[in-house]
A and B are shown apart, each in its own frame.
Chain A
Amino acid sequence: MQIRTPEFKESARIALHDVGLQKALGNVKNGFPGKRAAAMARLPEFDALRDQARDVKNHVIAHLDLYLEQFEAKVLENGGHVHWCRTSEDARQTILKICREQNARTVTKGKSMVTEEINLNEFLEQNGIQPIETDLGEYIIQLRGEHPSHIIAPAIHLNLEDVADTFHAHHHTPRSVDPKVLMQEARERLREKFAAADVGITGANFLVAETGSSIIVTNEGNGDLTQILPNTHIVVTSIEKVVPTLEDMTLFLRLLARSATGQECSVYNTLSTGGRRPGDQDGPENFHVVLVDNGRSDMVGNDFQDMLRCIRCAACMNHCPVYGAVGGHSYGWVYPGPMGSVLTPQMIGIEQGALLPNASTFCGKCESVCPVHIPLPKLMRHWREKEFEKHLTPRTARWGLGGWAFMARRPALYRKFSALSNAALRLMAGKKGYIRKIPMVGAWTDWRDMPAPSGKTFMQQWQEKQRSGH
């Protein structure tokens, strides 16, 4: 998809004034956090599981090469194929080749963010193959020519009325605003597509090295119909999804649904291992796993390694005040919210992605709800540092930071200056106690008043108290 991340500020401004979007975003804030909290409360071991999940992921990353080799060996042993793809282009060509071998005309798809990342749908269409999204949310946005605005609830930016209009226009049925009727329409239309597809593409939530299995975690059952009806099943996934054993996968399953939707357990957790076995009456003959790197192997050993622990539950964006205000499309690429603000600069480059790690209040909520304890604010700070190093930071901010750094290295000067500005601010505020306008920081004072410092600086107070023996 087209990268629109550099337009973040403008997109965010438009989003804040979009009445429909603001209503829809209410469904995020009023839904997910409460459900997650309730699920957590029912499982006393939840926090202990999070610690363990972090440790298992760290262990896997420290042996990622070996676990991937083991996973591949098991897939081959079960008659499947593994394709290693360094870039999006490698992955697209690999998938196209498999589809061509099957003379594929239509491809059904289960929900997959990695296929968004590699821009697969557009590419298949250009090559005469029709991709059909089958997850209800993905189906809705595909009809509208949109991309997901959330990694687990792709159509969360839409209201019922929008879906009603979309289905009315594309299905040529009477317009209904009954969600039940709308879902039924999608169900009926997609049934035939499932049966007619030549290839089914799904993502994977985890890959199990012990068995060579991939697992998808879903509620609708579309991912299952996608993979069992066509002759060929392609799993498009990324290298950090591997876990050692079924027991380790279980640890993550206990965290994933609860962190994501607040469910005790998703409806369908499906393990796929190789192709159809002798005697099996259904299921795909061919099983392919496309392992996408796309910059992830560069993260091993760098400042962003912790991000490889991410299990894509979306808890960070569900609790994020910035995501909740501007929605996923404002972020301008595939991954929104705090996890996207860390991942996007890695994948599209800090030159294009720099606004995202800056679009954070650093309230810390994302880190506090992360099931694998990713220090998201810290990683966003690392990106700000890289931005500064590369001289991408706007000049006024650089001057400001440079000036502050100069003072901070000279404590005596710093104290004198802060005492002086303290007094100056108090003078500017006068009797009101707050300041309406400060030159050069209009971005702040245009929208709010700046409270004046209430007394002496911390250092002044400290020294006085030391002297008076308190």
Chain B
Amino acid sequence: MSKAEILGNIRRGLGGKITDEARATVKNRIQAHAPNLIPARGQLPAAERLALFINMARESAAELIELNDLADLPAALDQHMQSLGITELIMAQDKCLTSLDWSPLQNKQTTQRVSQVGDLASLTTAFLGIAETGTLMLYSRAESPTTLNFLPDTHYVVLRREDIVGVYEDAWNQLREETGGQMPRTVNLITGPSRSADIEQTLQMGAHGPRQLVIYLI
């Protein structure tokens, strides 16, 4: 009932009947998903794009560590977790992560499950990095539960250099391609660790999400 009333009221305001032309306009616009003006900042050759991503991510207070090879990840994590005194890592189940040799993690364990209150650290991959704002794109799927991105104090994220795009428009196109046009339940665009300025407009890090965001750039 309400639906008919609301739509009827809108149509009255717009001056009456829906035309075929209007229907076609809407359908075409959605199908074309044409870009609007794209800022020049993100439209760069690969090397500069990478540099922009690194700068913007660091500006957002993410910690960014460059590694030559994914195989170096367990040792790098061992060191970082050691410095924070963390002994358990809750991991996403992407094959590229689970197939690594985790023996470099000394006196620490990895667990594959969703995150729970009290978890100190998680590890996930990022689908893409977006250079324009130093943003990570992650999405929910069986191997990568969304709670890993929000509950732990420290979120470790693996991003491949070749997965860095310049601007959001490139990211949407890659996401459409990757998921066959079927949006996952959750798509997260993450730029730095959690923060709030709700107390006297003074910025404090670590509000409800991770206090630290550590990006391993492979």
Contact = CB atoms under 8 A, between A and B. Distances in A.
A and B associate = yes
Interface of A: 24, 27-28, 31, 43-45, 48-49, 52, 56, 59, 62-70, 78, 84-86, 90, 134-137, 140, 153-156, 158-160, 163, 179-180, 182-184, 187, 190-192, 194-195, 209-213, 219-222, 224-225, 228-229, 239, 244-248, 250-251, 253-254, 261, 264-277, 279-283, 291, 293, 297-302, 305
Contacts of A78: 183
B26 A70 contact: yes
Contacts of A28: 201
Contacts of B2: 84-86, 90, 293
26 contacts: A31-B201, A45-B39, A52-B37, A65-B14, A136-B196, A153-B197, A159-B200, A179-B199, A194-B208, A210-B30, A221-B210, A222-B209, A225-B150, A225-B208, A228-B147, A247-B172, A250-B172, A251-B37, A253-B168, A266-B191, A269-B191, A271-B186, A277-B140, A277-B185, A279-B141, A300-B9
B207 A27 contact: no
A300 B13 contact: yes
B189 A270 contact: yes
Given A244-B30, A247-B35, A280-B185, A221 B13 contact: no
The residue among B6, B168, B169, B192 with the most chain A CB atoms within 10 A of its own CB is B6
The residue among B33, B141, B146, B172 with the most chain A CB atoms within 10 A of its own CB is B146
B151 interface: yes
B114 interface: yes
Interface residues of B, number: 75
A52 B150 CA distance: 34
Given A66-B18, A220-B207, A220-B208, A254 B39 contact: yes
Closest 9 CB pairs of A and B: A221-B209, A300-B13, A301-B13, A137-B198, A279-B142, A220-B207, A297-B9, A265-B133, A84-B3
B93 to A, nearest CB: 9
A301 B194 contact: no
A213 B26 contact: no
B7 A69 contact: yes
Interface string B151-191: 10000000000000000110010000000000111111111
Contacts of A69: 7
